[in-house]
Amino acid sequence: MSSTSPQQRDQQHVPGTKPSDPLAANAEHLYLESYAFTTAAAIVGSVDRKIFVLLRDGRNLFGILRTFDQFANLVLQDTFERIYLEEDDVPKQFGETYLGVFMVRGENVVMMGEQDIDREDDHLEQLEQIPFEQAEQGLRLKHQERIKEEGRRTKTLLKQGLVNDFHKADLY
């Protein structure tokens, strides 16, 4: 029986022959970053970074991700909610309010991404800032209009034997 360990045998590998451990030769390429996560662990790299979160109800949150759990529940610090008002599908105005520390239930997250802190406010220079309450009212009217439109669409589809998969909680 040999007195060398498996690690010592791999270090003694002779070129042109197969190593005893097939993964040992490529071990330097097996880093955590190279694996595609399909769970909440995929956001571990965004902790302590400024992120954007789009919620199911259409709200846009911007803040620093402090922690998360296996359900993708998020805790944001220094959070702002921003509402964009559009004309002809082009943002023209925005309103924002400070929310502080904010917890988001994971099932309400539609999209999330890191922000470039050097360029995060560049697009706002082209928009008119309005009071948050005014932006909220404008968004509420837009949502009411969409709900009525989807109601009409649902009736039309039902007449044809089809179902409209719209829920008023999903206004993003």
Q: 74-130: per-residue pLDDT in tens?
A: 999 999 999 999 888 788 999 999 999 999 999 999 999 999 988 888 888 899 999
Domain ranges for the chain, please list them: 40-129
Q: Which residues pair with 93 in a beta bridge?
A: 85, 128
Average confidence (pLDDT) over 164-170? 77
> How does residue 20 score in pLDDT terms, banded at 50, 70 and 90?
low
Q: 147 is written with which tokens?
A: 């709900």
Q: What integer best gives the mean pLDDT of the chain?
A: 82
d(CA 148, CA 166): 11
Q: Is the pTM of this model over 0.85?
A: no
CA torsion through residues 159, 165, 167, 172, sign? negative
Q: The dihedral of CA 102, 85, 52, 55: what is its sign? A: positive
Q: Which CATH architecture has domain 40-129?
A: Roll (2.30)
Structure tokens at 35: 């694996």
- In the numeric block, which tokens belong to residue 27? 């071990």
Contact 111, 148 (CB under 8 A): no
pLDDT surpassing 90 at residue 10: no
